[in-house]
Amino acid sequence: MATIWKNVNDVKPGEVLADDVFDGVSFTLILRKGEALTEDTINLLRRRNVKRVPIYVEGPEEEAMISREKIMVKEEDLTLPSIAPTVSEKTYNESIEAVNEVVNKILETDTLDKDKIRTTANKIVAEVFSKQRNVLNLIRKHARGFLHKHLVNTGVIAGMIAVEMGMPIYEATRIAEAGMLHDLGLAFINVRFESDIEKLDDEIANHPAIGAKYLREAEMPSEIIDAVLFHHERWDGKGFPMGLEGKRIPTISRIIAVADAYDTLTSEDLDNHMPPYYAMRWIVSNSKRYFDPDIVSTFVKMVGIYPTGTKVQLSDGRTGVVVGRSENLLKPFIDINGEVIDLSEEENVWILKVL
């Protein structure tokens, strides 16, 4: 048997899913691998904003190889295709597949592959550590759906923040590992019927506790369990599940909260996604409300006020795209028609507006 990815509008009743399908809006598991589609479940997929699904087809292994290639990262999937990704395409693709395998194994056998998660986090942080200057250029959309991509991206961003904060590599790796598990609880939430939709908010609010409970039973380190349990706590004490405030929230959870928010806000898998600049503005404006102001400050220093991919108009009328931060956060590196300039060296030119 081989696998092909089909547009939801092209699938037919009786076709069998080759992998789990996650909701494109709420990120919950809605249909399981091996399930035969019906008119009702196809309509459910459409209502839940699922665009493509993996379908089993009769065919040789070569077709399966082709279908697997379709889920690989492509340049156009990046925030900015013209520059290198934060981590190499090879590492990113392997990370997506590792997370997919870990989540599926949990759902199918109730077993957590700790070594796979740890090894993946090690590879990511090793790449981040090896670069003199990191640029946040991650995948915006992925054929695997939101959840697996989001877990990897949050792990990458959290690891980068830890490195920027000066943490040693082993600690940054632990934080990346926690980032890759932070929304694990969402994988256990299974909304299958229309009558269940009204329960969705309550179920989603429980996902930190669900994920933490599973990790505790799997005997994961306590700091990772706490990171997952408290990543939706707020600096002002109005978060959940415990209403912790300020520095009572574990540092690891405060780092993941920022990483989680930025990737969610900029993800093209979601309908309400924002351009990077406006996502950064939202995070900065909610410093001291949702987020630890010191971690937000570190994130801004790491990414810049104008994140990679922001389209801008300069004071001299030229337009370009931000490709990285310089020492002056207000004057990043700009790509103008294929030529990269360091705006900090342009004394009389500044960013006039974001396009």
Please give the average per-residue pLDDT across 231-258, as a whole number: 95
- Considering the domain architecture, whether residues 122 and 47 belong to the same structural domain is answered as no
Name the burial class of residue 168, with classes exposed (0-12), middle (13-18) and buried (19+) by CB atoms within 10 angstroms of its CB: exposed
Q: Between these two residues, 226 and 30, which has the higher pLDDT value?
A: 226
pTM over 0.85: no
- Considering the domain architecture, whether residues 227 and 272 belong to the same structural domain is answered as yes
pLDDT digits (tens, 9 = 90+) for 7-62: 788 899 999 988 777 654 444 667 888 889 999 899 888 887 776 677 887 654 43
Distance in angstroms (rounded) separating the CA atoms of residues 201 and 267: 20
- Considering the domain architecture, whether residues 58 and 91 belong to the same structural domain is answered as no
pLDDT digits (tens, 9 = 90+) for 293-311: 999 999 998 888 888 888 8
Helices (H), the chain: 39-47, 61-69, 89-109, 114-130, 146-164, 169-179, 200-205, 207-217, 222-229, 251-266, 276-285, 293-303
The domain that holds 184 is classified in CATH as 1.10.3210.10
Q: Is residue 73 part of a domain?
A: no
- Is residue 82's pLDDT more than 50? yes
Q: Is residue 166 part of a domain?
A: yes
- Considering the domain architecture, whether residues 156 and 20 belong to the same structural domain is answered as no
- Considering the domain architecture, whether residues 117 and 250 belong to the same structural domain is answered as yes
pLDDT digits (tens, 9 = 90+) for 268-288: 766 667 888 888 889 998 999
- Considering the domain architecture, whether residues 149 and 247 belong to the same structural domain is answered as yes
Name the burial class of residue 9, with classes exposed (0-12), middle (13-18) and buried (19+) by CB atoms within 10 angstroms of its CB: exposed
The whole domain housing 22 covers: 2-68
Residue that terminates a domain, selected from 47, 68, 89: 68
- Considering the domain architecture, whether residues 295 and 319 belong to the same structural domain is answered as no
In this structure, the number of other CB atoms found within 10 A of the CB of residue 186 comes to 25
- Considering the domain architecture, whether residues 102 and 208 belong to the same structural domain is answered as yes
Distance in angstroms (rounded) separating the CA atoms of residues 240 and 355: 36
Q: Is residue 90 part of a domain?
A: yes
In this structure, the number of other CB atoms found within 10 A of the CB of residue 69 comes to 10
Q: Which residues in 334-349 are b (16+ Cβ under 10 Å) and which e?
A: bbeeeeebebeeeeeb
Residue that terminates a domain, selected from 68, 87, 120: 68
Q: Specify the number of domains making up the chain.
A: 3
The domain that holds 10 is classified in CATH as 3.90.105.10
Q: Is residue 54 part of a domain?
A: yes
Residue that terminates a domain, selected from 25, 49, 68: 68
- Considering the domain architecture, whether residues 317 and 293 belong to the same structural domain is answered as no
pLDDT digits (tens, 9 = 90+) for 177-195: 999 999 998 888 753 333 3
- Is residue 143's pLDDT more than 60? no
Cis peptide before 241 (omega within 30 of 0): yes
Distance in angstroms (rounded) separating the CA atoms of residues 34 and 100: 16
- Considering the domain architecture, whether residues 164 and 276 belong to the same structural domain is answered as yes
Q: Which tokens in the block code for residue 202?
A: 């309550």
In 3D space, the residue among 270, 255, 198, 259 whose CA is nearest the CA of residue 223 turns out to be: 255
Distance in angstroms (rounded) separating the CA atoms of residues 229 and 226: 5
Q: Is residue 330 part of a domain?
A: yes
- Considering the domain architecture, whether residues 51 and 181 belong to the same structural domain is answered as no
pLDDT digits (tens, 9 = 90+) for 333-354: 888 988 888 898 888 899 988 8
- Considering the domain architecture, whether residues 55 and 165 belong to the same structural domain is answered as no
